[in-house]
Amino acid sequence: MEAAGKLINGVAFARQLRSEIRQEAENLHAVHGILPTLAVVMVGNDPASAVYVRNKIRATEQAGMRSVSHHLPAITSEAELLDLIATLNADETVHGILVQLPLPAQIDRDAVLDAISPAKDVDGFHIVNAGLLAVGRHDGFIPCTPMGCMMLLHSVLPELAGLHAVVVGCSNIVGRPMARLLQQAGCTVTVTHLQTRDVAAETRRADIVVVAAGHPGLVRGDWIKPGAVVIDVGINRAETPQGARIVGDVAFDEVAPHAAAITPVPGGVGPMTIACLLQNTLRAAQGLAG
């Protein structure tokens, strides 16, 4: 069956954004002598995190920025990690700090995220940046994945006001900030979570469905209202007869025929997350430029 859904090309969108960011970064360097620099910290050897970190470092350098990488062993103590963050906070040549999640169990994630200077918190996870977003102020850093989702939504829906949006999943990284951004764009927002009795009943009423549940193929074809726009944030490794593949949280082949527009996995939200990280890093460096 031919998919009636229109594919939202995150690769092309992110490529354009990254090229604009590169130009601005080069300009900042040429005019102000500031080389935007991102410090990436990873603790332990989670294989998925290693791939994400490698991609972030490569993208940073391709955007004409500098990256500084700190890979700490899995046995690192919280105090040792906090020491490194204090050093990076004090280092004027470092503009953005990213601590890749998840962290090993002996480390309190919130203590670490809140130790990052809010002005260098390019992930937007510090409590100050989360609070600014919560009260509708966009002068802090906005988490990269929800920001990328909003850009993709705006590319197919110039006006979001008045639409009903359902966000499936309520993590601090995606679901919660996503809901706030949609609400501030004028949507009526429902957030579903593990205690929601009937998630499908909620998504069926939605003009926009954003899925960030970490559950491969969760959203089925009959969960989607005809003409809805579907954004799939999921990145799951799945074994298929063709071998290991990356799949989203949406059963793409079932949902695409109903949707007016849909992001593929891979090639949808993922590239936007990295492009938005570069944008936040550039902004952090521009802040220092005054």
Candidate residues 8, 122, 144, 168; the one interacting with ligand GUN per rule CB under 6 A? 144
Q: Is the dihedral of CA 105, 38, 144, 247 positive or negative?
A: negative
Phi first, then psi: give them for residue 213, nearest 5 degrees.
-110, -15
The CA distance from 272 to 266, in Å, is: 11
Pick from 260, 285, 276: nearest CA to 8 = 260
Determine whether the annotation assigns residue 267 to a binding site: no
In this chain, which stretch among 85-93, 94-102, 128-136, 211-219 interacts with ligand GUN, using CB under 6 A? 94-102
Q: Is the dihedral of CA 234, 239, 240, 243 positive or negative?
A: positive
The CA distance from 274 to 238, in Å, is: 22
Rule CB under 6 A: is residue 24 a binding residue for ligand GUN?
no
Determine whether the annotation assigns residue 235 to a binding site: yes
Rule CB under 6 A: is residue 98 a binding residue for ligand GUN?
yes
Determine whether the annotation assigns residue 169 to a binding site: yes
- CB-based contacts of 75: which residues, under 8 Å, 6+ apart? 104, 106
CB of residue 79 to ligand GUN, shortest distance in Å? 20
CB of residue 226 to ligand GUN, shortest distance in Å? 32
Rule CB under 6 A: is residue 129 a binding residue for ligand GUN?
no
Rule CB under 6 A: is residue 232 a binding residue for ligand GUN?
no
Catalogue the E-assigned strands of the chain: 6-7, 37-43, 66-72, 96-99, 164-168, 188-192, 208-211, 229-232, 236-240, 243-247, 261-262
Rule CB under 6 A: is residue 280 a binding residue for ligand GUN?
no
What's the distance, CA 259 to chain centroid?
22
Rule CB under 6 A: is residue 67 a binding residue for ligand GUN?
no
Candidate residues 34, 50, 68, 101; the one interacting with ligand GUN per rule CB under 6 A? 101
- The set of catalytic residues is 56, 100, 123
Rule CB under 6 A: is residue 190 a binding residue for ligand GUN?
no
CB of residue 228 to ligand GUN, shortest distance in Å? 25
Number of residues that bind ligand GUN (CB under 6 A): 9
List of residues contacting ligand GUN (CB under 6 A): 98-101, 123, 144-145, 173, 273
Residues of the binding site for NADP(+): 169-171, 235
